Amino acid sequence: MMNTLAREAYARPDAPVRNARATEYELFARMTRGLSIAWTQRKQNHAALVSALHDNGKMWRTLAVDVADIGNELPSPLRAQLFYLYEFTTDHSRKVLDGTASADVLVDINTAVMRGLRGGGAEV
């Protein structure tokens, strides 16, 4: 998914310049929309739910690797919170696939991160 964003950004010379926060926000927005739609249509299209959970997990894994990097400049408490959310979303995604949990929690987590990104604060 991140490669897709990069290709889209570089393919359009007329595209507005985005900072890292705006790009991250857009990625979270796409994942969240995809999860939300796939969850509401899960009975008709289970494969779409599996794909949305996979894409969301891939985004969170990438984020976890980034915040675990010693050179990451985010404050340590925020890095720890984000890594914990990665672990939680991974575990919860398994439960969604097992049919024992709702994807709504994952949508809520992504939405909270988006609020933090949009507001410029660290609301996680």
43: DSSP letter: T
Note whether 1 and 55 are within 8 A (CB): yes
Is 124 within a domain?
Answer: no
Q: Is residue 82 part of a domain?
A: yes
Residue 96: inside a domain, yes or no?
Answer: yes
Number of domains in the chain: 1
Instruction: State the residue range of the domain holding 8.
Output: 2-119
Q: What is the pLDDT of residues 69-79, one digit of tens each?
A: 999 999 999 99
Angstrom distance (rounded) from CA 24 to CA 120: 12
Instruction: Tell me, yes or no, whether 41 lies in a domain.
Output: yes
| 114 falls within a domain | yes
d(CA 53, CA 30): 12
Identity of the residue numbered 79: R
Residue range 1-38, pLDDT digits in tens: 555 555 555 555 565 666 888 999 999 999 999 999 99
Establish if 43 belongs to a structural domain: yes
- Asked if residue 61 is part of any domain, the answer here is yes
Tokens standing for 121? 């604060």
